[in-house]
Structure 1
Amino acid sequence: MGLFSRRRPDDAEPARDSSPGDPEPASREPEEVVGGPWDSADAPEASGSTVRVDLGSLRVPAVDGMQIRLESPGAGAEAGAVVLVLGGSSLELRAFAAPRSTGIWEELREDITAELTRTRASHKVVSGPHGPEILAQVPVRGRDGHDSTVAVRFIGVDGPRWFLRGVLQGRAATDEAASRSLREVFADVVVVRDGAARPPREILPLHAPGAGAAPEAEDLPGLDPLSPGPTIAEVR
């Protein structure tokens, strides 16, 4: 597994169109991936040879060949997201504070789809293993100056006083087989909600474990998984 580089359930809904141009359909809807994400109070012990990497508010399963990098909004700022790169696809994770009694995923879906509409990204809400997900084709400009679109899938899970958002990019956004490994990682993440009073939607901070300098994680073509713009990385 690569080391670190520091760089800048509600019920499933039927699929419905949210914009005139639909994304390319997924090969199939993903099969059920059982498990979490887990709250730290009831998370099972990691099984077999699997261990979880302690990143502060998130504990992420360590998978052979997976690269991990943290994202922070600026120099000296606390990291707020972790990007996992595996098999040519990526999964960005962010944990947010949420109210004790109600979830925030339904409200956040509305905000994300509104932002996607504003940026002329085609999108639709589909059913996934953890409930409603947003599948979008986000317009990007490549390094060669040509415009194209990149598939992005937003996943959300409401927990006790926390919300976990995942963003799949690469083949895993539209292909069931390609998404399996990263979905299994997502389903075994543990969210650690500290005791601090935090307003809903505040990002729960992350930190790097005691690791030395590490190589850069591989770059995916098209959409930069660390870029906050096209991935709607900060929903306020």
Structure 2
Amino acid sequence: MSIFRRKKAAPETDEVAPEEVEETPEVSADDEDDAAGDDVAAEDPEVSRADGPFDVTEVEGRDGRIDLGAMWVGGVQGMELRLEVDKQTQQVSAVTAVVGESALQLQAFAAPRSSGLWTDIRREIAMAVEKQGGTVEESAGALGVALQTRMPSAGPDGRTVFAPATFVGVDGPRWFLRGVLSGRAAIDEASAEPLLQVLRSVVVVRGVEPMAPREMLPLQLPQDSAPAEEATGEDDETPDIDPFERGPEITEVR
């Protein structure tokens, strides 16, 4: 498995992220667990995490997973692991597993103790997608309710094309894990399965520090594995993980 470090400048388009879809007020350590979810819609049925993703208290050691700080990530055959590094802060902002023509972006966030985040975040993502002229459809899977989206853009010949992406969310103890499938994995179950296996392998290390709900859990470069390549983010061949820009395009038939 190769590890690539990709420096990422500020995004040129709006990306739907838990901390962006709804402004989070400043929260003190004392009321962290009650600061979010008071006006949340009815929660989804509880989804079993017996097969992952896991909390760090539920496993014994890393068992071959790569230590990225707040996440330990396992691998599958032919996978490349790509790290998005902010140019200004030099902090890892996202982890992307790439298998063939498919990609899975992973990010973990703090969540309140009293309730999960995925129900609300899914609704907010849907509203943002529809506001930009896209389509949204919910589907049920082993990891619960997923959100399948298609965002319109102008193709090379001027016709409208749609870039698909699938959002997956998992609520854990005081954390929320979000995955975004793009490329062929967004439209083909067989292509998605290896990446869903990666998602299920994830161990989230929430830590005990007080954090505001939706605050991103800190990631870091792996200490025991040197990057195989460092890329600029402009000229490399890493699939763009922004679900609203890239991925297979479906021409609209009028």
* 2:2–2:227 Cα contact (<8 Å) kept: no
CA deviations 1:79-127 (Å, max 9, x no partner) are 2210110121000001000001210100101110010011111111111
CA contact (8 A) 2:101 2:184 kept: yes
TM-score (norm 1): 0.77
1:10-21 equivalences under 5 Å are 10-11=44-45
**What are the equivalent positions in structure 2 for 1:90-129 lying under 5 Å apart?**
90-129=103-142
Amino acid at match of 1:3: I
Residue aligned with 1:106, SS:
helix
Structure 2: segments with no counterpart, 5+ residues: 9-42, 247-254
User: Compared with structure 1, are the counterparts of its residues 91 and 61 closer, same or farther at alpha carbon in structure 2 (3 Å cutoff)?
Assistant: same
Q: Distance in 1 between matches of 2:230 and 2:85?
A: 17
Amino acid at match of 1:36: G
> Where does structure 1 lack aligned partners over 5 or more consecutive residues?
14-31, 232-236
Deviation string for 1:10-50 (max 9, x for gaps)?
4289xxxxxxxxxxxxxxxxxx9961100000025566xxx
Task: Give the alignment partner of residue 84 of structure 1, picking from 97, 102, 110.
Answer: 97
**Against the structure 1 CA distance between its residues 92 and 197, is the aligned structure 2 distance closer, same or farther, given a 3 Å change threshold?**
same
Q: CA RMSD in A?
A: 2.8
AA of the residue aligned to 1:148: V
1:204 is paired with a residue whose SS is coil
Shift of 1:135: 0.3
SS at match of 2:201: coil
Structure 2: distance between partners of 1:103 and 1:185: 22
d(CA) in 1 for partners of 2:81 and 2:153?
Answer: 24
In structure 2, give the amino acid aligned to 1:129. A
**Higher mean C-alpha displacement, 146-155 vs 84-93:** 146-155
Report SS of the residue matched to 1:80: strand
Tell me whether 1:176 sits opposite 2:189 in the alignment. Answer: yes
CA contact (8 A) 1:80 1:204 kept: no
Corresponding pairs, count: 206
Using a 3 Å threshold, how does the CA distance of structure 1 residues 64 and 95 change in structure 2: closer, same or farther?
Answer: same
Q: Are residue 38 (structure 1) and residue 54 (structure 2) matched?
A: yes
Partner of 2:215: 202
- Identity over aligned pairs, percent: 40
Q: Which residue of 1 aligns with 2:7?
A: 7
Task: Normalising by structure 2, report the TM-score.
Answer: 0.72
Higher CA-based Rg: 2
Distance 2:209 2:124 in 1: 26
Return the offset for 1:182. Answer: 0.6
